[in-house]
Every structure is written in structure tokens, then in C-alpha cells.
Amino acid sequence: MTTPLRLGIAGLGTVGAGTVKIVRQKAHLLAVRAGRPVEISAVSARNRDKDRGVPLTSYAWEDDPVTLATRDDVDVFVELMGGSDGPAKAATEAALKAGKDVVTANKAMLAVHGQDLALLAEANGRVLRFEGAVAGGIPIVKALTESLAGNEVTRILGVMNGTCNYILTRMESAGLPYDTVFEEANQLGYLEADPELDVGGIDAGHKLAILAAIAFGTQVHFAGVELEGIGKIVIEDIRAAADMGYRIKLLGVAQMTGRGLEQRMSPCLVPATSPLGQLEGGTNMVVVEGDSVEQIVLRGPGAGEGPTASAVMGDVMDIARGLRVSTFGQPAATLTAAQAAQSATPASYYLRMNLKDRPGALAKVATVLGESGISINRMRQYGHANESAPVLIVTHKTQRSALNEALTAMGRTGVVLGDPVALRIENL
């Protein structure tokens, strides 16, 4: 009889329970496809008595995930606890040192410690796989490390946080303000325990840093990701963007430039007719541009029990079949230290501001932009209210540093009320 692949699963939350369900319910299918049975030997979680909707009594239980990771009857340690440090990191390191392969869905741990863990895995002749860590059920890691390995990737971009995409599309479709939709998302259980991980762009920034490492052969450099969340987006921005043929997305963009590695996670305007512009609800989308393949688009559910457990099991099945791939698509020792770009690639920008309702106010703003070397592509002015005049401006391509200089100078004109909003326009 063919030797089974034995799993030790640490973390029995939504994804962990979903993984157990797949192993139990699809046992015959997995065995046929892998050429060997896939079984669970032992599990670990904080609460032994919690009902997780799946039987666990047939598996050994370990209170300590490190002990689970080093059991003799575990071939693959499946880390689904989460957290950049603590038990997740300790157990992952212990598993690799004990000669176990590791499958994880822990984006935070990989974004912070990915290089060290990759070196540890390779030093011990093990593999560390993490399809479930990025974009849920979308097989983007496998696509980059395997299917697109013959390409020089020029740019990777996408919507990588379903919660933010839900909030922004819900604001638009229902005409609701940010705070209302934020609370709605919270009641539906879409937000992390610390909501800033979602709406602040941190969760999506972790994913972008991981993908950039694979795409450009660099060490993971989360500290180099420019982060800006969606908390400042108001319904007026949503409506104005739509009026001009755009939609607002929390967009991650990574590209290698002559100035270094550019990594941005921020609200951007994208053409409403583009694939990203048409993305609705909690769905994720990743766009990869390569020199040979040109552009491909991958779309699918970015979180949840089924989609993420599906990704976890994809990694498990690769190991069961004997497929061995370097953590980030090439030996960790060959990954170069990422040099963060000091300035972003030039782009057009959307500007929203309130001007004092007085003659010459708009002319002063136009003069400031001109003195900073920024030309206006188009402009719209909406109805006056309370002695203020809402104005929207779309610029031609410019450096963000020049725009920041102009925004500072606008504050000295005496005609701008409050802080202007500036959002990058990303063309596809």
C-alpha cells in the first residue's frame, strides 16, 4: 500500500476547520489525484471543547503547536493560526528543523519573516508553501512560481482585500457613507478583530509584499510598501469618480523601476470599464503583466472557509505528488535585497477640494499647479453650498512629490477650505 501523507493541523478556525472538512469529505478524490492517501494525524487549537462543525475525535490533540509540529507521525505541518510571531512562527521553525514540510496561510508571518523562513526551509531540505496566504482561492502564487516562470514580470497589481472592496462598492451601489458601511461590514463579520488591518491596507500590503518578492526575485520587504487606507474616502469621491468614468479601489501595485522596487497599497481610481473597475463585492483580482504573456487577469473569492482551504489543500497535494518548489520561486540565497523606490512612477491624479466662493479662487489654484509643473487635464465644478465651491481636477501625469508641493502651496493661498483629497489614477 502506498504510504499516506500525514498532516498535523495547527489552528482550527474558519480555514482550519475547512481544511479538515476537505480531507474528510474528499479522501478518495485526494488519494486518486495524489497517488497516495492524505490523512490527518493530529490537530491543535486554543480551545479543545469548541464545536467546529466537523468531527475531531479521531485525531490526536496537542495543546502546544510546537509539539504538534515535531510529532513523528506528522509529515506536513499545516499552520493556520495566524500572527506574525508567537506560536505560529515558533511552530513553523520547529517543524522545518524537524524535517517537516510546511503549508501556511499566514501572510503576516511571511511578510515579516519570509526570507528567514525560506532560508531555514531550504537549509533543511524542506518546502514552505503558502498559496492560501494571498488572495484566498486565487492560485496566484502557483501561477507566478510555476506557470509564469518563463516571464520577466513588469508589473503586478490588484485588489487583494475583499472587505475594502465590499465597503467601496457598497458605498457606491447604496449611496451610503463610509461609517455606515464600515459598521455594516463589521456586523457581517467581514472585518478583522483589529479593523485597521483591513481598512488601513495592512492586510493587503502583506500580500503585495509577498507577490513582489516572487515576481521580482527580491527578499520580502513589507517595510517598503507605501500604505494608505480607505478611511478618507467619502461618498462624494465615489460619485465624482463614477461621473468621470472611474471607480475607486484599494489597489496594490508593485513594479521594478530604475529607481528601485515600487510597492504601493492605496486607494486609486481605475477605469470603470477595466476588469478591476468591474470588480464587485468581496471578490479579489490580481493582474500580472509579463514580457511574454503580456497581461493575465485572475479573479476569485479572496477569503472564506472554502476558498482558502482549497488553496491550502492545493499546496498539500503538490507535496503529496512530490513537487518541490523554492519558497519564492527561486533559491532564497539568490533573492536580492529590495531597494525601495524613493519616488513613485508618474501618474495622473484626481483632486477634490472646496474653494471659497469668491472671484479668482480657482485661478489661484490653477496658478499653483502650473508653478509646480502640473497641467490640468479636466476640471468640474459642482453646485455651491455654504459659501464654498466643490471643485474636481484631473491632472496630466506628474510626480507625487510635485503634487505634494502644490498641495502645500494651495494651503497658503487662503482660498482652499480644509485639506484637498488626492487620489492616484492607475491605467490598465
**The dihedral sign for the CA sequence 176, 180, 182, 187:** negative
The Cα–Cα gap between 411 and 389 comes to 16
Count the Cβ atoms, other than its own, within 10 Å of residue 130.
24
Residue 336, strand partner residues = 218
Does residue 142 carry a catalytic annotation? no
**Sheet harboring 101-104: ordered strands across?**
60-61, 38-44, 5-10, 76-79, 101-104, 128-129
The Cα–Cα gap between 66 and 92 comes to 8
DSSP secondary structure letters along 151-190? S-EEEEEEE--HHHHHHHHHHHHHT--HHHHHHHHHHTT-
Q: Which residue out of 89, 207, 249, 364 is catalytically annotated?
A: 207
Please say whether the beta carbons of 48 and 62 come within 8 A: no
Q: Residue 20 belongs to what H/E stretch?
A: helix 14-25
Question: What phi and psi, each to the nearest 5 degrees, are found at residue 390?
Answer: -65, 130
The amino acid that residue 189 corresponds to is G
Helices 107-123 and 86-97: angle between axes, nearest 10 degrees: 20
Active site residues: 207
